[in-house]
């Protein structure tokens, strides 16, 4: 019988590494944003990303380079700005996967968010924190027993959530009222 519930110290540790990187960078002022609309956007985006990487894996290209991993962080960062923009404008998400692995990530977001996100290093700091965390734990038996995509996507999930929070805080600081947040 398969387990219906499990605990993951690996997931907890990588999530903490993301939160600490963002705290160290001073990117957030308050509590994290919790929004059903943004949670649904996260799910939609990550299902698409996992499907794309599964296609790649089926072609025999399972390993990701450090540059591709960094690109994934930049990608979810840009998509967080896009999701918050769509939330504010009551628009549906239409996440395309352009730039997901090549670092050429377009950003379709409110101009204030685009400018702000280009100024701060949240995505780069999260990517570096993940790579450092992964290197520091490479000998950990628990980590070696996992599909390598699981801790990576846990880190990306937290990067997305933290980026959404940074985007909401920026718009609120500019006087914008964010619906449902």
Number of domains in the chain: 1
Residue 8 lies in a domain: no
Residue 53 lies in a domain: yes
Residue 145 lies in a domain: yes
Q: Residue 53 pLDDT > 80, yes or no?
A: yes
Q: The tokens of 47 are what?
A: 């299902």
Q: Sorting pLDDT into bands at 50, 70 and 90, what band is 104?
A: very high
- Considering the chain, what percentage of its residues have pLDDT values greater than 90? 78
Residue 14 lies in a domain: no
Residue 128 lies in a domain: yes
Residue 120 lies in a domain: yes
Backbone phi and psi for residue 97, each to the nearest 5 degrees, phi listed first: -105, 20
Q: The tokens of 142 are what?
A: 């628990």
Residue 116 lies in a domain: yes
Q: The tokens of 23 are what?
A: 């705290």
By C-alpha distance, which of 105, 103, 52, 55 is closest to 80?
105
The pLDDT value recorded for residue 50 is 96
Which element (helix H / strand E) includes 113? helix 111-119
pLDDT in tens, 137-172: 888 777 777 777 889 999 999 999 999 999 999 999
**Residues of the domain holding 160:** 35-172
Q: Residue 1 pLDDT > 60, yes or no?
A: no
Residue 109 lies in a domain: yes
How many Å apart are CA 147 and CA 31, to the nearest integer? 31
């Amino acid at each position: 019988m398969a387990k219906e519930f499990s605990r993951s110290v690996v997931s907890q540790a990588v999530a903490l590494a993301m939160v600490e990187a963002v705290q160290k960078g001073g990117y957030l002022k308050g509590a994290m944003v919790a929004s059903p609309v943004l949670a649904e956007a996260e799910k939609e985006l990550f299902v698409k990303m996992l499907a794309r990487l599964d296609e790649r894996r089926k072609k025999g290209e399972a390993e990701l380079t450090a540059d591709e991993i960094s690109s994934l962080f930049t990608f979810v960062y840009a998509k967080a700005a896009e999701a918050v923009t769509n939330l504010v404008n009551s628009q549906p998400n239409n996440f395309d996967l352009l730039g997901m692995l090549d670092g050429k990530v377009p950003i379709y977001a409110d101009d204030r968010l685009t400018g702000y996100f280009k100024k701060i290093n949240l995505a780069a700091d999260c990517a570096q924190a993940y790579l450092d965390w992964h290197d520091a734990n490479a000998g950990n038996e628990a980590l070696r027993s996992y599909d390598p995509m699981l801790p990576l996507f846990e880190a990306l999930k937290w990067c997305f959530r933290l980026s959404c929070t940074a985007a909401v805080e920026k718009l609120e600081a500019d006087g914008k009222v964010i619906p449902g947040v």
